[in-house]
Each structure stands twice: as C-alpha cells, then as structure tokens.
Amino acid sequence: MDQQPLRKDLYPHTEPYDSGFLKVSGVHTIYYEQSGNPHGHPVVFLHGGPGAGTSPGNRRFFDPEFFRIVLFDQRGAGRSTPHACLEENTTWDLVADIEKLRQHLGIPEWQVFGGSWGSTLAIAYSQTHPDKVTGIVLRGIFLLRKKELDWFYEGGAAAIFPDAWEPFRDFIPEDERNCFIAAYSKRLTSSDADVQAEAAKRWTMWEMMTAHLIQNHENIKRGEDDKFSLAFARIENHYFVNKGFLPSDSHLLDNVDKIRHIKAFIVQGRYDVCCPMMSAWDLHKAWPEAEFKVVPDAGHSANEVGVAAELVSANEKLKNMLRK
C-alpha cells in the first residue's frame, strides 16, 4: 500500500481547553495552557527569545486530534509574572520549571518542540531529563556560543542588514561599542524607565527586522510594542551577558550523547541571519542520528512557509511513529 504524503500545511486555529498559572518560585508564576486532545500524546512548546512568550499560532504546528498541546510563557515573558523580571531567571530555572509543569499536569513523558532560544532550552531540558522525552523537534538552532552572539550582536550580521543595524549601533556611544551586549545591559537595567524602554525597542527591533528572509512588517510591529519589547530585550540580554548560564561554550554539543537515542528532527533556514546555519551544521555533525532538514529559501522565523512545512512534517513523522 502506498504511504500517504506527509501533511505540510499548518493546522487550523484551536482554542485552549485549559489554562492557568503555576507558582514556580517565591518570585515567579508562569502562565500555561493546553489545547488539542486532552487524552492525546503530550507535546510541550518552548518559545524563543528568551522573553518572547507564546502566541496562539504556536498551536498550529500540531495535529489537535492527536496531540495534547502544552504552551507556557517562560519566567518574565508573556502572561507570566512578574513581567520582564530578571531575578531567579536562568536556563536551569527554566529547565526546572518545565519539569514542575510536567508534574503539575500529570504527564509521564512528552515530546519537546523548540525553535531559536527554544531549541537551546529544548536541548538543555532533554539532556537533563532524557527519560521524560519521547521525541525532539528543533528549529533555528542556537547553541549560545560566543561566536553566535558575536555574529548577531557585535557586527557580523550588520554586513547583511546595515540599514537595520545602524539604529541599534547608534544608540550606544562610540566609546562603548567594543561590546554591544554589555552596553545594552547597562541601559536595560537602568533606573531610568525611559532609558530602559528606548534600549528595549532598539534591541528588539534589530531582531524583528532580521528574522525573515523577506522582511515581515507584522513581525517588525511587535518590536514597537512597549510591553513585549521590554521583556524580550531585558531577558534576552540578561541571558546573553551571562553566556546562557551554561558551564562552558560547548556545553550543549558536549552532552549530545545523553539524547542521541531520542528520535529528533533539526529544521534550519539556509539564510537564517539571527541563528546562522553554522550552529545547526555543528549540531548535525555531532548528532547525525537526528534527521536534518535545510530549508533552501528561508531565514529564521518559524512562520516562513518552508520552515513551517518542515516543522509540521517532523511532527507528523513522530505522530506516525507513536501510532505504530
């Protein structure tokens, strides 16, 4: 019998059947929601940034009849509180939160799905709790290494987007331009709320203007939102100035053996400027068992047509494996 071709178009919008807040520390409470099939195979969606929060469209990568779809806003992001808070906000706090949420929802194990910073967190979580992970789908690989941060925040990507780079660069005085991440950190943690807000918009707009192969004006408008940009910029910068709170530059690559046995998919846009393909390639070389798909006509965003199609396809493959 001929095998049916894999679905590649996004699923229709679906509304959550459950949502709530989970207190994960003395400081932080995270928002979560569940949609799809309450008795389906659980999958947890890990958003990017860090600090971006989730959006309704994130549910559309998954078959709502098969998957129990769990979305949550990471500490300080989206509807989680306190907003844009940097206290007790590290990679390992978030890894612990994912486990607390899994236990809170009574889920024995689940599939993990993450793009951009979400790919970083997905790898970190899966390496910490490999026995709780049934499959992994990663997009726009970000391993939080110095060369990746230098490429995007210290002038490398400016060669492709000089028009978008100049407002980001010009906010910082010339004598502080030896390290833009540090210079922005000073302003994003300033006691002056106006300085924080302006720095947040400049930081966020740089990423929003470079996230698609062809600039997406709806995405760029997100950078103009004061609340969104404050959390996005402050939390991203906090993680990057602290090198992702990882023990070493190569930590995630060094620990691939812990997850090598898990069925995994890596999807990468060839012309991703935010998280250039060198990182996906390095992960592919370290983890050849993971299925690796390069989208030839895409940038960074999960919402680009080719990237979205490959993400849906990866979920369909995992779904078919789980059904057997």
Show which residues are catalytic.
116, 272, 300
First-last CA distance in the chain: 16
Whole-angstrom distance, CA of residue 286 vs CA of residue 255: 10
**Spatial separation of the C-alpha atoms in residues 146 and 154, rounded to whole Å:** 10
- Residue 203: closest CA among 243, 245, 239, 234: 234
**What is the H or E stretch that residue 34 is in?**
strand 29-36
Sheet holding 41-46, edge to edge: 18-23, 29-36, 67-72, 41-46, 110-115, 133-139, 264-269, 291-295
State phi, psi for 157 to the nearest 5 degrees.
Answer: -70, -15
> Residue 121, Cα to own-chain centre: how many angstroms?
7
CA distance 230 to 227: 5
Closest CA to 133 of 310, 290, 295, 309: 290
| Distant-in-sequence, close-in-space partners of 309: CB < 8 Å, separation ≥ 6 | 8, 9
CA 35 to chain centre: 20
Q: Do you find a cis peptide bond into 247, omega within 30 degrees of 0?
A: no
Please tell me the distance from the alpha carbon of residue 161 to that of residue 214, in angstroms, as a whole number.
12
Please tell me whether residue 85 adopts helix, strand or coil conformation.
coil
